Structures are given as structure tokens and as C-alpha cells.
Amino acid sequence: MDAVKTGRLIVQIRKEKEMTQKDLGERLHVSVQAVSKWERGLNSPDIALLEPLAEALEITVSELLAGRRGEEPREELVRDSLRFGMEQLGPKIKRWRWLFALAALSLLTLVVCLGYVWLRDNTDLLPQRETTVAPVGVTDRERIMAAVLSEGKSGPYLYEAALADDLSAWTIRMEVWANGKLEESRHLLGAYAGEENLRDWSLLPREKAGASAQAGPRKQLLALSLTPEWAENPGDASLGYTLCFDGWTASDTIEHVPYMTSGWMISDLKEKTSVDSEEGVTLLVLSVDGQDGRYHRWGTTSPEGSAFLVFKLYCR
């Protein structure tokens, strides 16, 4: 197709039919600017518009391709139209090819990411560089059943822990915080490198590596339930607990629990959290009677008069 010759033919016939560029554009659903470019030979009609354009001008497609009237269909015109079509479709095919490649790459990336997440959460094939703890959701039905079966215990509070590959030790402790300061820390359960009990966290050699002797799979369920014995006088209360974690179970009573006289307000871990090597991770907080007789919300800062019993997991 000679764009100049075709453009001259279009403008000639359009004027013979007393059509404006706007009229022709509206019939073909194209802009006036597109029609103007055709007529000036700056651009050629899209191959999909050849037949509608020929019908609008009441000529044949062969005449439109040849740029003159009376042109009979010939083999050269067929080849010309095919070549014209390929010239127009070529850039579109390339563009769609790149779009397809981009979509395929995006899909592959998504599959790889989903596969990584599945392997991380369901197998021990990938490295676990840090210990993480996440709450285990409990339905209302399960919570009611647990309350009936626990015989007065609070809980159980359930967490799933993913143990780091280089975990050498862990300990679960109850800390007493009052007026924003740590008053005491009591060991509840812990193990390292095969030792059955770790009563003094400070005695743990930091360089000692290796999982505990009874360590099972990387994913472990941590369960905690509490049995309070209230007392009117601060320090006379006791707190029974049952802990299960990493193949270990402990059931005991903490005597002389301060500040626990009439009740508590509970807050627990809400989302998946990494265990800090120094600060640990807070599993459960009991806001108990402080000096001001009120329950306070646990946070980065604690107001004067507040008192908390904080259950934490520490890992090294």
C-alpha cells in the first residue's frame, strides 16, 4: 500500500460524496485526526478498517490498496495487503509478547513466593534463622470446652513456636513488674543442650550450641494454663501453672505472688513475633492490683501504681 496514493483517493471520494472528515470518522469510529493523517499520507488505516472504509467510500478493498479506481484484485495486491497487515501487526505482536513474558514472570515469581512460604511454614527444609512465636486461634466452642475441662484454670493459652536452627537454650519465666520496673523474675520451665532443668539463666554458656535432648520438630506448640489462689493480703496469693513446650512439661505452684489480691486483666500475644535474644517475647500479661488499686494496660511504659505478672519466653 502506497499511503500517499491511498490518502489522495480517500480525500477525493470523500469530497465527491460531500462528507467531512468528521462524518467519515464517525462512521468508522475513529477521530478526525486519524482521517486527516490518512488523507495526508502520514499514516495508513488499520488493516481491520480497510473493509469498513471501502464500504463507506463505496469502492473495493483492492482499489483502496492500489490507491486508484478500477483496480481489479491481483496477486500482487493480495501480497501487498498481507505485507501491510504484517507491518501493522508486527509491533503489536512484539508488545503482546513482552506483556505475556512479563505476566509469565510475575506468575512465576508469585508461585516461587507461595512455594517458599509453604516450605517455610510446613517443612523443615529451609533454614530457620530466628525463633518466632505466633498465637494459635481458638474458637468460642473450643474456649468453652477448655473452660469446662480445665476445672477452674485460666486458659489454656496456645502459641506456635518455630525454633531457630542454632537454638541452644530457652527458658519461660514469670516476671513481676511494678511502677514500670522489674522487681523479680521466676523460672518456670527451661532446657538447654540436654540439661533437664535450667534454674539459673545466667549460668547458661552463650557459646554452647545444639538443640535440647528431647527436641522434636522445628514447629512446637506452647501451652500455658493458670490456676489462681487469691488472697486479701499482698504476697499471700499463689498461682498454679501448667506449661508444655518442646517436649517438656511442668506443673507447679508459684507461692507468695505479690499484688494478686482480687483479680486480673489479661492480654496476650496477638501476632507472630520474633524472639529477641535479650528481651525475649511476651506471651501473656496479667494486670493485677497495683498500689492505686486499678488494672493498667501493659505497654512500652507503665504508669505509677501499676503492677503486672508477665510470662515471657527467652531464647539463645
Tens digits of residue pLDDT in 82-104: 555 556 566 666 677 777 788 88
Of the listed ranges 15-24, 83-92, 105-114, the one predicted with least confidence: 83-92
**Which amino acid is it at 128?**
Q
Taking a C-beta distance cutoff of 8 angstroms, is the pair 86, 75 a contact? no
| Cα 11 from Cα 40, distance rounded (Å) | 9
**Location of C-alpha cell 490456676:** 227
For the chain, what is the mean pLDDT?
A: 79
| Cα 296 from Cα 177, distance rounded (Å) | 12
Taking a C-beta distance cutoff of 8 angstroms, is the pair 163, 220 a contact? yes
Spell out the SS3 assignment of the chain: CCHHHHHHHHHHHHHHCCCCHHHHHHHHCCCHHHHHHHHCCCCCCCHHHHHHHHHHHCCCHHHHHHCCCCCCCCHHHHHHHHHHHHHHHHHHHHHHHHHHHHHHHHHHHHHHHHHHHHHHHHCCCCCCCCCEEEECCCCHHHHHHHHHHCCCCEEEEEEEEECCCCCCEEEEEEEEEECCEEEEEEEEEEEECCECCCCCHHHCCCCCCCCCCCCCCCEEEEEEEEEEECCCCCCCEEEEEEEEECCEEEEEEEEEECCCCCCCEEEECCCCEECECCCEEEEEEEECCCCCCCCCCCCCCCCCCCEEEEEEEEEC
Q: What is the pLDDT of residue 271?
A: 92
Taking a C-beta distance cutoff of 8 angstroms, is the pair 209, 166 a contact? yes
Read off the pLDDT of each residue in 180-197 and give the average, rounded to a whole number: 74
Q: What is the pLDDT of residue 49?
A: 84
| Cα 70 from Cα 66, distance rounded (Å) | 9
Read off the pLDDT of each residue in 302-313 and give the average, rounded to a whole number: 86
pTM (two decimals) = 0.59
Q: Indicate the pLDDT class of residue 215, thresholds 50, 70 and 90.
A: very low
Q: What is the pLDDT of residue 236?
A: 87
Q: Is the pLDDT of residue 302 over 70?
A: no
Pairing of strands 307-315, 248-257: unpaired
Domains and CATH numbers, the chain: 3-73 (1.10.260.40), 132-315 (no CATH)
For 110, list phi and psi in degrees, rounded to 5.
Answer: -65, -45
For 198, list phi and psi in degrees, rounded to 5.
Answer: -125, 95
Max Cα–Cα distance, the chain, nearest Å: 114
Q: What is the pLDDT of residue 209?
A: 34
Q: Is the pLDDT of residue 313 over 90?
A: yes
Share of the chain above pLDDT 90, in %: 20
Over residues 252-297, the pLDDT tens digits come to: 999 999 888 888 888 889 899 999 988 899 999 999 887 777 788 8
Q: Indicate the pLDDT class of residue 32, thresholds 50, 70 and 90.
A: very high
Beta bridge partners of 282: 312
Of the listed ranges 30-44, 197-211, 277-291, the one predicted with least confidence: 197-211
Q: Of 127 and 36, which is predicted with more confidence?
A: 36
Q: What is the pLDDT of residue 284?
A: 93
For 257, list phi and psi in degrees, rounded to 5.
Answer: -80, 120
Q: Of 112 and 292, which is predicted with more confidence?
A: 112
Of the listed ranges 30-34, 55-59, 223-227, 228-232, the one predicted with least confidence: 228-232
Q: What is the pLDDT of residue 212?
A: 40
CA 25 to chain centroid, in Å, comes to 50
Read off the pLDDT of each residue in 136-162 and give the average, rounded to a whole number: 73
Q: Of 163 and 152, which is predicted with more confidence?
A: 163
